[in-house]
Amino acid sequence: MAETPLTQNIQPDREPLALRDYQRAGGYQALRKALQEMDPQRIIAVVKDSKLRGRGGAGFPTGTKWSFVPQGEDAPQRKYLVANADEMEPGTFKDRLLMEGDPHQFVEALIISAYAIGAQTVYIFLRDEYRLAARHLERAIHEARAADLLGRDILGSGFAVDLHIHTSAGRYICGEETALLNALEGRRAIPRAKPPYPQQAGLWGWPTVVNNVETLCNVPHIVNRGAEWYRKLSRTEDGGTKLFGVSGHVNRPGCWELPMGTSMRELLEEHAGGMQAGYRFRGVLPGGGSTPFLVAEHLDLPLDFDHLAQAGSRLGTGTMVVLDDRTSLLGFLGNLEHFYAQESCGWCTPCRDGLPWVERVLAALARGEGQPGDIEMLHRHTRFLGPGKTFCAHAPGAMGPLESALKYFPEDFEAGIRQPVRTTLEAG
């Protein structure tokens, strides 16, 4: 059996491990080791060496991100760690599992990560709808505090860190890391200009690291077992295991921890049980609603950051949405672009005005009422809203599925153009 460090304590329909049982299963060993045997620089080096890459969507190497935080005498004295638990990417359901299923693992991860970057305060930025996760985390934080694993003088080491849950109130854009910082400061959640990056100037101007929940949950295991062990969990260059999910018309939709580099075919057929009877596979968004389509020819690709990028898509959050032959592609895209249009923060024009336009055209095509020129118009939008043209990555994310659908399924778009009614005059 392959190892599943992140989900080893998680059993569906069972209460998560309380502090005592979590410790009995080896929990908080990594925290002890970190505080007693490792200085922060050493932890950052091990995380770098483990080849852990961010699980929030962009895949940025975590150790490298941490190393951008200014350290030393002259560095700003205050620093923050923020866990991005906003999980709102359509089709994504993995961070929920980690927080509901093993809250102490996440809390331990946060304390060690705060120690590594020198943060005195940690915020968990949690979406409001995750009520069960909030309850489980509150209990875990309370238990950890009572046991001196969190607070003023952790395990007698002198290290102090405070941990707060901030529950948000909706809006996808809050998950974008700079919009998230504005949200935490109590402002309207519109993204900030980069640079400066949060690691230099984040929350209230102090150095801040924003990491995804799953990313962080890897840290205690890397500290415990070392970088080499972690790299070897993977079948490819990127380290570790990954939570992969599948939804759509498959037999067993779900979320599994598997080696990084597992093939899409294995995931779909062995774990998700293949397509439901009467449905045929047509394509897949491999890592949430803003990742470009892949199709049957890609099924044997190893699922990792580099392989999917080479194939023109992204690993994203690793939770895939399957398109079948009985679901309308135009309806599918219309649903996604409706989401992106609605969730645009409205700050920049191409995104604010372009997305509703795309949504309207897709709706017309789906009704068979598209006009000549509509398909070119969609192509043009994929360029005008593409990378580098807007203030944040929201609009380019919205264009990923559309651009790839235009490439792989052009016939669906053509079928949506209204056939010209020929008048007698033209006919004559």
Partner 1 sequence: MLSDEERRAIETEMSRYEHKRAASVDALKIIQRHRGWVDDAALRDAAELLGGSPAELDGVATFYNLIFRHPVGRHVILLCDSISCWICGYEPVHRELRERLGIAMGQTTPDGRFTLLPTACLGACDGAPVLLIDDDLHRNLTPGCLDTILANYD
Ligand X SMILES: Cc1cc2nc3c(=O)[nH]c(=O)nc-3n(C[C@H](O)[C@H](O)[C@H](O)COP(=O)(O)O)c2cc1C
Positions touching ligand FES (CB under 6 A) are 90-91
CB of 192 to ligand FES, least distance (A): 28
Task: Characterize 384-413 residue by residue with b for buried, 16 or more Cβ atoms within 10 angstroms of its Cβ, and e for exposed.
Answer: ebeeeebbbebbbbbbbbbbbbbebbeebb
Cα(380)–Cα(348) distance, integer angstroms: 17
Q: How many residues bind ligand X (CB under 6 A)?
A: 25
The verdict on whether omega for the bond into residue 356 sits within 30 degrees of 0, i.e. cis, is no
Among 185, 300, 369, 414, interactor with partner 1 by CB under 8 A: 185
Q: Which is nearer to ligand FES, 191 or 289 (CB)?
A: 289
The verdict on whether omega for the bond into residue 195 sits within 30 degrees of 0, i.e. cis, is yes
Among 16, 46, 81, 86, interactor with ligand X by CB under 6 A: 86
Cα(214)–Cα(53) distance, integer angstroms: 10
CB of 111 to partner 1, least distance (A): 17
Structure tokens at 131: 């009520």
Considering the rule CB under 6 A, would residue 337 count as an interface residue with ligand X? no
Among 121, 290, 390, 404, interactor with ligand SF4 by CB under 6 A: 390
Select from 55-63, 64-72, 111-119, 122-130 the region that touches partner 1 (CB under 8 A). 122-130
Structure tokens at 156: 């007698």
Considering the rule CB under 6 A, would residue 50 count as an interface residue with ligand X? no
Question: Which residues 6+ apart lie within 8 Å of 361 measured at CB?
Answer: 370, 374, 377, 378
Question: Alpha helix locations (H) across 38-79?
Answer: 40-49, 62-67
Binder of residue 90, out of ligand FES, ligand SF4, ligand X, none (CB less than 5 to 8 A by kind): ligand FES
Among 11, 21, 60, 373, interactor with ligand X by CB under 6 A: 60
Q: Site residues for partner 1, window 328-357 (CB under 8 A)?
A: 331-332, 335-336, 339, 342-343
Select from 93-101, 265-273, 348-356, 405-413 the region that touches ligand SF4 (CB under 6 A). 348-356
Considering the rule CB under 6 A, would residue 346 count as an interface residue with ligand SF4? yes
Q: Which is nearer to ligand X, 203 or 392 (CB)?
A: 392
Question: In the 3-class helix/strand/coil scheme, how is 201-253 assigned residue by residue?
Answer: CCHHHCCEEEEEHHHHHCHHHHHHHCHHHHHHCCCCCCCCEEEEEEECCECCC
Cα(214)–Cα(85) distance, integer angstroms: 9
Select from 86-94, 261-269, 352-360, 409-417 the region that touches ligand X (CB under 6 A). 86-94
CB of 262 to ligand FES, least distance (A): 22
Among 171, 298, 314, 394, interactor with partner 1 by CB under 8 A: 171
Considering the rule CB under 8 A, would residue 105 count as an interface residue with partner 1? no
Q: Site residues for ligand SF4, window 131-190 (CB under 6 A)?
A: 173
CB of 224 to partner 1, least distance (A): 28
How big is the chain by its Cα radius of gyration, in Å?
Answer: 23
Q: Do 125 and 86 meet the contact criterion of CB atoms below 8 Å apart?
A: yes
Among 5, 27, 61, 91, interactor with partner 1 by CB under 8 A: 91
Binder of residue 347, out of ligand FES, ligand SF4, ligand X, none (CB less than 5 to 8 A by kind): ligand SF4
Question: Which residues 6+ apart lie within 8 Å of 231 measured at CB?
Answer: 49, 50, 51, 239, 240
Phi, psi for residue 241 in degrees, rounded to 5:
-95, 175
Considering the rule CB under 6 A, would residue 348 count as an interface residue with ligand SF4? yes
247 strand-pairing partners: 321
Considering the rule CB under 8 A, would residue 169 count as an interface residue with partner 1? yes
**Upper half-sphere CA count for residue 333 (Cβ side, 13 Å):** 29
The one-letter amino acid code at 55 reads R
Question: CB under 8 Å, gap of 24 or more: what pairs does 140-148 form?
Answer: 140/16, 140/19, 140/103, 140/104, 140/106, 140/107, 141/107, 141/165, 143/18, 143/19, 143/104, 144/19, 144/104, 144/107, 144/108, 144/111, 147/19
Considering the rule CB under 6 A, would residue 56 count as an interface residue with ligand X? yes
Which residues form the interface with ligand SF4 (CB under 6 A)? Answer: 173, 191, 344-348, 351-352, 390-392, 394-395
Give residues in contact with ligand X (CB under 6 A).
54-58, 60, 65, 84, 86-89, 172-173, 175-177, 210-212, 215, 392-394, 397
The residues that touch partner 1, with contacts defined as CB under 8 A, are 87-93, 95-96, 127-132, 164, 166-172, 183-189, 203-204, 245-249, 253-255, 285, 289, 319, 321, 323-324, 327, 331-332, 335-336, 339, 342-343
